[in-house]
Amino acid sequence: MKKYVILFIAFLSMGFWSCGNDEDPEKTVPSISLSSPATDEPTIDLNHISEVPFSWAVTNGSVAGGYTLYLSKAEDLSSPRTYTASNLSIKVSSVNLDIQLKEWGIAKGEEAIIYWYVKPSVAGEAIPPETARKLKVKRLSEAAPVITLSAPEDEGLTIDLSGVEKVTFSWTVSGTITGGYTLYLSKAEYLTAPATFTSDVLSKEITAEELDAALEEWNYTGEAEATIYWTVEPTEDQFVVTPNPRTLRLKRRPRNFNSVKVTKIWDYAPHNAFTDLIRYEGKYYCTFREGTAHIPADDGSGKGKIRILVSSDGENWVSFALLEKKEYDLRDPKLSITPDGKLMVLMGGTIYDVLQRLTHVSFLDREHNRFSQPIPINVNNAIRSNYDWLWRLTWFNGEGYGVVYSKENNIHSKVSLVKTIDGINYNLVSSLNVGNVPGESTVYINADKKMQILMRREAVGLLGLSAPPYVTWEWKELYLDLGSGTMIPLFLGGPNMIPFKDDEFIIGTRFTRDNKTLTSLFLMNKLGVLRKILDLPSGGDTSYPGLLINGNELWVSYYSSHEGKTSVYLAKIKLDLFSDLN
């Protein structure tokens, strides 16, 4: 019995010892040994070579975490200069090594003894050499030229390639370099697999298209932000102090960016905003407000005027009319064509001193080729107030429909559907029971006479649905489909819509997310669910798009301050961009 107890205790002891030792006792740890330069190698004269290669070997296994090369003036490797490597060698440029020798107090042209050593970058992955190796080096006799990177600066800013045509890289040089320069761009800090560009001067312009192609090659997905690295070296081999790579953040162009062309068409006034767009008798008309700011100054100066541009080809735009009315701030002009073929423009008109708002209208006199003086519209007494604004008008079967919103302040607003036959006198169709301060609205009526209203509120936007006589309404809150089952409410600003196909609509509106405000385009289905198609180059004070389908393109007028001054832009977008999503 005693024999068995002893054996059992021994067995338990072996088990506990085994559980307390996770390492394989038979596992061999890799060892690092230094290879080149050898200890007995003659003095390395930096004046005769452009770089010094260091190499080492690993036995009994491999190292996954890379290596660190140490260079020091002292045998104990104090105050070292370190370099990292992923494989069994690294080359240190003669110029960079010369700079280090200078920092260690070695004069130009003098010889010095330094020490080098290699360790695994991850402690414990390999056994390092027992001692450092001695190396005799002779400094450069003359100082080498120095390249210094200038721009783009490494400030953490992101360059959006959809908003620029090119990016300029520049640098400076102290000293003389012959043979030109090579600009290196890479996804990796060590500049592996770089894209290269040559230049004979101290700068290089790279087009946004070329940069986007490089990001595509490096497998960055569409519209993703990427951090890349860039530096400059002489094209020909020579002694030069080259800069460490600098980081640069780039945002890729959206999918099918080449399907979009954006042109600034007007920026003459201090503030140009709130646009609309239409084709009339073979010409294109774009209208917007001109002012000194988003709203007039407290002293009443800077009241808005309505500018109307005309173009025969959509490329070259000239001023056709400038409408103004004493004491009134005119804004948010909207174009439509009356049943008798007149081009008309609605506009809000406000006198701020007495808090009076009257919607005005003007018509194009085709005989004299000019617009009439703006006059107030007449709204049915049942809904008339001092704050009425008929924001947009849609014509159908000889009648024009629109939504009047009467917004006394930022808390109270009522909305009413009205109709007209002449663009001047408007009768009530129905009062719309909508809360959360409703406002700017666009109406559409399909061939079956069913009406839809896209409505802005101080809450999630709405889609209203009704059939004649347009008294009973169904309202749906608008949601944006982000994919993977994620839906977020969509808030509108300056909303517009135009039918596309199969009960789908293209929506243009202000869109704010992640503290960025943009003019964006969406595709909306009949359930009021939207998918974002495109962010137009925009930002800051922006939106109020005019929408026009012209052949196989969608034309979008809009305003934006992303380039500093609030200006009017025209985007031409291939409709294939929308069709590809179906």
Any idea what the CATH number is for the domain that residue 177 is in?
Answer: 2.60.40.2840
Kindly indicate the confidence band of residue 13, based on its pLDDT and cuts at 50, 70 and 90. very low
Tokens of 506: 């293209």
Would you place residue 39 in the very low, low, confident or very high pLDDT band (cuts 50, 70, 90)?
confident
Residue 409 lies in a domain: no
Write phi, then psi, for 86 (nearest 5 degrees).
-95, -15
Widest pairwise Cα distance in the chain: 126
Looking at the structure, tell me whether residues 495 and 570 fall in a common domain: yes
Domain count, the chain: 3
Smallest CA-to-CA distance from 72 within 102, 100, 36 is with 100
Please write the tens of the pLDDT for every residue from 186-197. Answer: 999 889 999 999
Residue 7 has pLDDT above 60, yes or no: no
Whether residues 150 and 134 fall in one domain:
no
128 found inside a domain? yes
Q: What are phi and psi of 526, to 5 degrees?
A: -70, -10
Judge if pTM exceeds 0.85: no
For residue 39, the domain's CATH number is 2.60.40.10
Q: Do 151 and 248 have their domain in common?
A: yes
Tell me if 557 is assigned to some domain.
yes
Identity of the amino acid at 354:
V
The pLDDT value recorded for residue 501 is 85
Written as one string, the DSSP assignment of 109-162 is: T-EEEEEEEEEESSTTSSBPPSS-EEEEEE--SSPPPEEEEEES--SS-EEETT
Summarize pLDDT for 474-484 with one digit per residue, the tens.
999 999 998 88
The pLDDT, as a whole number, for residue 222 is 66
Q: What percent of the chain is modeled with pLDDT above 90?
A: 73
| pLDDT for res 407 | 82
Kindly state whether residue 68 falls inside one of the protein's structural domains: yes
**CA 249 to chain centroid:** 11
Under DSSP, is residue 307 helix (H, G, I), strand (E, B) or coil?
strand
Please report whether residue 405 resides in a domain.
no
Co-location of 107 and 156 in the same domain: no
What range does the domain containing 530 cover? 480-582
Residues 495 and 522 in one domain: yes
Strand partners, 379: 426
- The residue-averaged pLDDT of 153-169 equals 86
Q: How confident is the prediction for the chain on average, in pLDDT?
A: 90
The alpha-carbon radius of gyration of the chain (Å, integer) is 36
Amino acid symbol at 267: D
- Which of 235, 255, 275 terminates a domain? The answer is 255
In this predicted structure, what is the pLDDT of residue 411? 79
Displacement of CA 7 from its chain's centroid (Å): 74
Q: What is the spatial order of strands in the sheet that 543-550 belongs to?
A: 260-266, 567-574, 553-560, 543-550
Give me 346's structure tokens.
Answer: 């609605």
One domain, residues 488 and 582: yes
**Which of 111, 138, 165 is a domain's end point?**
138
Residue-level pLDDT at 460: 95
Do 529 and 579 lie in one domain? The reply is yes
Whether residue 182 sits in one domain with residue 128: no
Lowest-confidence pick of 278-282, 407-411, 423-427, 473-477: 407-411
How far apart CA 240 and CA 535 sit, in angstroms, is 45
Beta strands in 154-282 (DSSP E): 158-160, 166-174, 181-186, 195-199, 203-207, 225-234, 246-251, 260-266, 271-280
Report the pLDDT value the prediction gives residue 580, as an integer from 0 to 100. Answer: 64
Could you tell me if residue 50 is inside a domain?
yes
Give me the residue label for tokens 């030792």.
21
Whether residue 112 sits in one domain with residue 151: no
Contact of 462 with 478, CB cutoff 8 Å: yes
**Looking at the domain assignment, is residue 270 inside a domain?**
no
Residue 225's pLDDT band, with cuts at 50, 70 and 90, is confident
Least confident piece of the model among 51-60, 285-294, 478-487: 478-487
CA distances from 462 to 245, 441, 442, 580 (A): 51, 9, 11, 26
205 and 242 fall within a common domain: yes
Same domain, 72 and 92: yes
Question: Helix (H) and strand (E) counts for the chain?
Answer: 4, 45
Q: Which strand (E) or helix (H) includes residue 334? A: strand 329-337
Cα 113 to chain centroid, rounded? 53
Residues 150 and 133 grouped into a single domain: no
- Tell me, yes or no, whether 87 lies in a domain: yes
Of 227, 255, 283, which residue is a domain's last? 255
